[in-house]
Amino acid sequence: MAGLCLTVLFVIVTTSYSLEVSDKETNLPSIESRFPYSLSMLTVNPCCYYPCQHKGVCVRFEMDKYLCDCTRTGYYGTNCTIPEWWTKFREFLRPSPAFYHYILTRFKWFWDIINSTFIRDVIVRLVLTVRSNLIPSPPTYNSAYGYISWEAYSNVSYFTRVLPPVPDDCPTPMGTKGKMELPDASLLVETFLKREKFIPDPQGTNLLFAFFAQHFTHQFFKTYGRMGRGFIKGFGHGVDLSHIYGDSLERQHMLRLFTDGKLKYQIINGDIYPPTVVEAPVFMIYPDNVPKEKQFAVGQEVFGLLPGLMMYATLWLREHNRVCDILKKEHPTWDDEQLFQTTRLILIGETIKIVIEDYVQHLSGYYLKLKFDPELLFGVQFQYRNRIAVEFNQLYHWHPLIPEKFQILEDEYSHSRFLYNTSILLDYGVEALVESFTKQIAGKIGGGKNHHPGLLKVAAGVIEESRKLRLQPFNEYRKRFGLKAYKSFKDLTGEEIMSAQLEELYGDIDALEFYLGLLLEKSNPNSIFGESMVEIGAPFSLKGLMGNPICSPEYWKPSTFGGETGFNIVKTATIQKLVCLNVKQCPFVAFHVPDDVLPKLKKSDEL
Ligand SMILES: *[C@@H]1O[C@H](CO)[C@@H](O)[C@H](O)[C@H]1NC(C)=O
Ligand SMILES: *[C@@H]1O[C@H](CO)[C@@H](O)[C@H](O)[C@H]1NC(C)=O
Ligand SMILES: *[C@@H]1O[C@H](CO)[C@@H](O)[C@H](O)[C@H]1NC(C)=O
Ligand SMILES: *[C@@H]1O[C@H](CO)[C@@H](O)[C@H](O)[C@H]1NC(C)=O
């Protein structure tokens, strides 16, 4: 048996390395003479050219040689560029992302028919598997390890990453292309990202969506400042609801009531709100002038920042305690711990359901009705694990969503009056906030020039982080996710002015940085952002959602959720129900502005 295994292994190893170690081309003396590296003794690390295509792995040999490992890429040759015959066939049949985006966002009548047939399941399964397969699982690199290693695999304090860092000894910051120094980050955000006039999202995304995005993603995007960029705080790496329950057992225990599985709460004007830090002594970030009696205590320490985040924290707190009551009625023998733990799993399920069927559904603009049904993946190969990637964190900085002012009922709030204002939630209540945030349109994310001036430093921080972590160029990520590299800045932005400025600052489209590329790419027609944000973001997102253990065959059954009642709460969750089961009067709830607001906006834009 062992002998057979070894033979098989040997065959695999020898066949996959049937590629010559190629001498590096000699037609590149300019960089070496311009920039002699004493360390590498006048030779450029050949992996700095990103020679390996189609997910091939570059390994350096001797000083100036490299080898592309093309194993299971479907390609062969020095740089993994020659397709095997079936790859040719598959590539021939594969529609371009632009093509299927076009189909999925048009022909509503067609998708209405598909919706009620089994074909819907087939397509949703295809979307889930094709997207998830782009994410390496188990995870591969991190910011300290540009090669497969046990440390990178096992040390979950790191964000993972899909592409290894730019090698340290490359001649330019982005590899071999572009200038010796990258443009100043604050100049970049001033030039390309600063808002001149608020640009509303053509898809009608509202602030209820914007705050949901921020609230939801802050359970897994928690950069651990103290350990440096590239490290994550908390070990959930996905939808663990640590933003509700805290990212440590200690914090969780502070927030729990230890009766009937419930979380601590306070009642104000007859409504349930999170406790204060006096009652639940956990660390929360608030300015010094906010007294402890006014500081809310919730799972995520940053949620005091915006009333919209605390509004969601309140809704989920109410939902948790509501579900506890339901479970307690069916299971009078269960102790506090079991009620708490089972409720947490139900809320994880509700979250994933809402994110796929309400949130991603809205964002995609697809007429295909998405479906959260883990059973769709039971027949295919799928790993129920997830590791949050640096690239996903970078990509998810969607601050252009934030408007100039916040409109709550008849009142207008500037950023400075809104931030850290603890009385807004209590004075207006959850209903009024939901209603107001649903009606107010959010900003368009893609296309540039839509950051509120106060948020430019956040964007500059993203760019600076990507430099510290040595993220590869935007075009390398395009290729990694099955897209064509852009040939010029004009090709990227689809216009003249910004592309000329970019050309001057970067010198080469292949040296453009990841985040700026995502934000400045021309948008899809009538869409919130461009192709790359969708094609790179969706795989991370869907893998993170479906890779949750509750979606695995072992967990996805009624008993996990305390029986059919709990299972049904998961299977029927919507954003509408999350709000309306937890407030007294049900407002209009959606992730887009009401239809009568959108046409008005479009008209006023045309005028
Ligand atoms: C492989 O890639 C390198 C670096 O991009 C390039 O110089 C070389 O010509 C390529 N070789 C082949 C055989 O395509
Ligand atoms: C799609 O089909 C499901 C049942 O298969 C139904 O509940 C839902 O209302 C349909 N949606 C649309 C938009 O037709
Ligand atoms: C993970 O790596 C960091 C940096 O090397 C180190 O400080 C930390 O102790 C490691 N964590 C574990 C659990 O080994
Ligand atoms: C905070 O919000 C309240 C309304 O709830 C408002 O009256 C007050 O002016 C705001 N505080 C600041 C500092 O702007």
Tell me, what's the pLDDT at 234?
77
The closest residue, in CA terms, to atom 10 on ligand 3 is 155
Using CA atoms, how far apart are residues 221 and 216, in angstroms rounded to an integer? 9
| Strand duo 65-69 + 266-268: pairing | unpaired
Residue 602 pLDDT: 52
- The pLDDT value given to residue 40: 46
Q: Report CA 204 to chain centroid distance, whole Å.
A: 20
This prediction has a pTM of 0.91
Helix (H) or strand (E) segment spanning residue 142? strand 141-142
What local confidence, expressed as pLDDT, does residue 129 receive?
95
pLDDT in tens, 407-458: 999 999 999 999 999 999 999 999 999 999 999 999 999 999 999 999 999 9
Q: What is the pLDDT of residue 556?
A: 98
Calpha distance 217→455 (Å, rounded): 18
Does domain 207-446+535-603 fall under CATH 3.40.50.300? My reply is no
| CA end-to-end span of the chain | 77
Residue 116 Cβ inside 6 Å of ligand 2? The answer reads yes
The ligand with the least distance to the CA atom of 115 is 2
Domain 45-94 has CATH 2.10.25.10: yes
Contact 425, 408 (CB under 8 A): no
Sign of the C-alpha dihedral computed for residues 533, 535, 537 and 542 taken in this order? positive
Give strand pairing partners of 58: 68
Residue whose CA is closest, atom 1 of ligand 2? 115
- Distance between CA atoms of residues 439 and 424, nearest Å: 17
Q: For position 7, what pLDDT does the model report?
A: 32
Report whether 205 contacts 441 (CB < 8 A): yes
Q: Please tell me the predicted confidence (pLDDT) of residue 604.
A: 43
Which residues partner with 530 through β-bridges?
Answer: 523
- State whether residue 344 is helix, strand or coil: helix
Q: With a 6 A CB cut-off, is 25 part of the ligand 1 pocket?
A: yes
Task: Kindly list the domain boundaries of the chain, sorted by start residue.
Answer: 45-94, 207-446+535-603
Angle, in degrees to the nearest 10, between helices 97-104 and 531-546: 80
Q: How would you write 167-213 as a 3-class SS string?
A: CCCCCECCECCCCCCCCCHHHHHHHHHECCCCCECCCCEEHHHHHHH
Catalytic residue selected from 54, 101, 215, 218: 218
pLDDT at 233: 85
Long-range contacts, 66-74 (Cβ 8 Å, 24+): 66/21, 66/22, 66/24, 67/17, 67/19, 67/21, 67/22, 68/19, 69/16, 69/17, 69/19, 70/16, 70/19, 71/12, 71/16
Q: What is the mean pLDDT of each run of 10 residues along the chain (607 residues)?
A: 34 32 41 45 88 98 96 97 95 91 94 94 95 96 96 95 97 97 98 98 97 96 77 88 97 98 97 98 96 97 97 98 98 98 98 97 95 96 96 97 97 97 97 98 98 96 96 98 97 98 98 98 96 96 97 98 98 98 96 79 43
Whether 218 is catalytic is: yes
Nearest atom in ligand 4 to the alpha carbon of residue 424 is 5
pLDDT score, position 153: 96
Atom from ligand 4 closest to the CA of residue 417: 14
Minimum CA distance residue for ligand 2 atom 10: 115
* Residue 399 assigned to a binding site: yes
Alpha helices by DSSP H, 469-563:
474-480, 489-493, 497-506, 514-520, 531-546
Q: Three-state secondary structure along 199-265?
A: CECCCCEEHHHHHHHHHHHCCCCCECHHHCCCEECCCCCCCCCHHHHCCCHHHHHHHECCCCCCECC
396 an active-site residue?
yes
